[in-house]
Amino acid sequence: TGGVLLSGPRGTGKTTAVRGLIDLLPQVQRSTCEYGCEPEAVWAQGIDAICAACAEKLGRGEPITAPDRMRLVELPLNARLDDVIGGLSERVALEQNRAQVERGLLSQADQNVLYLDEVNLIDAAITDAILDAAAQGQFTVRRGSLAATYRSRLALIGSMNPEEGALRPQIHDRFGLRVVVHGLTKETDRLEVYRRAQAYRLNPYAVAAEWWSETQAAAQEIAEARERLPRVKLTRPVEKLGLSWIKHLKIDSHRTEMTLFEAARAHAAADLRLTVTTKDLRVVAPLALRQRRSEFIT
């Protein structure tokens, strides 16, 4: 659905919240081959789509993927375009005197979470490349006569402080959901944030151990919701209500209903239900519709 954008002032916990997802991320089936071969390639393109070693393994009935936990991949603010999408390997050129396309950060983020901190300050060409790859699920690197195609099935999270500059209007619609983050207002809540931050600085392992059971329970809930999601259905009244909101707000983008309805399905799955209700729609609507009417993100 395009991922999630966190927008709010400095020091309100945006980056901390994203990094806190590490222990909650579910497992995925990841290729064990150095070339990234997967069974899906055989089904779609035939046996020639994978390397000879993987073809032999599949012929013997052996798997070429294994379960692995999703990772959080962070984009450095000073990254170059070649660092992100890939480019010619300088090491191979110097050591072997030949040209070879090297994988970039985008291919490393395949089946992982890609985090773009200060997304409004990232070079426009890099942002466009990432958003296009995330939307297509794959991308192609071309360097002269060389070309390589990589998968980019990733969950995208961005964060920004609107005081440091607006996000380009072209990108507003590419992020599926936008969460506006504010500082806490209650004194007791702010004091609790301070105490937990202090405790983590003094002994991060003790804090992790203290919250381990809750973390494991949340991770299990997420895994079960992901398994439930394909069976979650929209009802006609829910569809009509969502479309009426979009029409009333005069939103042109067709990504709007895709994001709105998929977010509502995910909310129902997390709530242990197989049918989306109007309550699910109302919960996710501000996140899915807010930025699609704004001239600037604030």
Catalytic residues: 255
Residues contacting residue 297 through CB under 8 Å, at least 6 positions apart? 5, 7, 120, 160, 162, 166, 167, 172, 178, 291
Q: Look up residue 12 and give its DSSP letter.
A: S
Give the Cα separation of 87 and 67 in Å (integer). 29
CA 233 to CA 241: how far, in whole Å?
Answer: 15
210: enclosing H helix or E strand: helix 204-210
As a residue count, the chain comes to 298
In whole angstroms, how far apart are CA 136 and each of 40, 139, 257? 16, 7, 18
- As a whole number of angstroms, the distance between CA 213 and CA 209 comes to 8
Token pair of 223 as six digits: 């895994």
Nearest to 131 by CA among 180, 80, 170, 76: 170
User: Distance between CA atoms of 199 and 208, rounded to whole angstroms?
Assistant: 10
Q: Which helix (H) or strand (E) holds 34?
A: none
Q: How far apart are the first and last CA of the chain?
A: 21
| Contact yes or no for 297/169 (Cβ under 8 A) | no
